[in-house]
Amino acid sequence: MSVPDPSHALTPSGNLRRRMAVSNVMQGLATAAAVLAVAVLGILVAFVVVHGIGALSWGFLTGSLPPPTGDGSGIGPAILGTGEIVLFATLIAAPVGVLTALFLTEYAPPRIGSPIRLVIDVMAGVPTIVVGVFVYELLVIGVGSTGYAAAVALSIVMMPLITRAALESLNRVPGVLREAADALGVSRWRTILGVVLPSATRGIVTATILAAARAAGETAPLLIVDSVFGPNVQLNVAHGIPNIPLTIFSLAEYGTPIAKQQAWGAGFVLLFLILAANIGARTLVGRGQRRAFV
């Protein structure tokens, strides 16, 4: 490459014009991709809102599920049911996930830790329909649809998500704090309770909320393990429990105009709950990060 002439005006010389053109094209492509991604989400949300908002009413939110003719009242039992299933799934998945993450960051030697990490990563990628079949074999055959089978299936979906996010939070806790606690003759578990977990709590709570939001919309496993339920409120986990994803599925299948609008309405409710959980969780993280730098 030739050396630039120092007396030349500071306008592009040599191949800089071409290099800048390539750079600008790539920047444009990246920007366009980002705009597209946001636009897809925006259009999707707008669509659900436009179609679904008409269905919303107090009766719709609280009424019992519509009969197969599609001309029923609401989705109240499904909202309660999804809440309950996700709650139980979280109660199963959060302790297992957090303790697994603690095992990996605080106790496991690398030789044991790396294969477990790999298993967790693979688990996060297992198709949820496969999880459904597995839980069907395990808990549903001979018993029928049950709420606890649904909770177990969703907890299997949630567990690797919580573990991975908790791992990230725990890895961010500075090693020097563990060393400081070790040097004080405090046992490892006390160190975890007193020093490690308080620094990671916010991240772990956020991860749990996000995983719960993800599980709330999970449809495939429920299709197999919790698809038979009555139209009324059912909170007994030994029975099939109404849930939002399958209610949307059935309403969409009925095909009548009212059912279709109710499907949009139920979709709106589900989307709203998930977005609210996401935004809430991210606000929590944001607050935590700001505080960490004070």
- Beta-carbon contacts of residue 160 (< 8 Å; ≥ 6 apart): 97, 120, 121, 123, 124
Q: Which stretch binds another protein (CB under 8 A): 144-152, 194-202, 206-214, 271-279?
A: 194-202
Q: Does 290 bind another protein (CB under 8 A)?
A: no
Closest to another protein by CB, 110 or 125: 110
**Contact predicate 154/218, CB 8 Å:** yes
Of residues 103, 106, 87, the one with CA closest to residue 158: 87
Q: Which stretch binds another protein (CB under 8 A): 7-15, 176-184, 224-232, 245-253?
A: 176-184
Helix (H, G, I), strand (E, B) or coil at 242: coil
For another protein, which residue of 62, 199, 219, 278 counts as binding (CB under 8 A)? Answer: 199
Q: Does 183 bind another protein (CB under 8 A)?
A: yes
Helix (H, G, I), strand (E, B) or coil at 193: helix
Closest to another protein by CB, 194 or 230: 194
**Contact predicate 291/227, CB 8 Å:** no
For another protein, which residue of 40, 43, 122, 177 counts as binding (CB under 8 A)? Answer: 177
Backbone angles phi and psi of 185, in degrees to 5: 70, 30
**Contact predicate 214/157, CB 8 Å:** yes
Q: What one-letter code names the amino acid at 18? A: R
- Considering only residues 93 through 122, tell me which ones interact with another protein, judged by CB under 8 A: 109-110
For another protein, which residue of 161, 181, 251, 259 counts as binding (CB under 8 A)? Answer: 181
Q: Does 190 bind another protein (CB under 8 A)?
A: yes
Q: Does 142 bind another protein (CB under 8 A)?
A: no
In this structure, the dihedral spanned by the alpha carbons of residues 158, 163, 168 and 174, taken in order and rounded to 10 degrees, is 140
Task: Report, in Å, the least distance between residue 88 CB and another protein.
Answer: 34
Q: Using CA atoms, how far apart are residues 287 and 170, in angstroms rounded to an integer?
A: 18
For another protein, which residue of 186, 223, 258, 271 counts as binding (CB under 8 A)? Answer: 186
For another protein, which residue of 174, 230, 257, 280 counts as binding (CB under 8 A)? Answer: 174
Q: Does 6 bind another protein (CB under 8 A)?
A: no
Residues near another protein, by CB under 8 A = 109-110, 174, 176-177, 179-188, 190, 194-195, 198-199
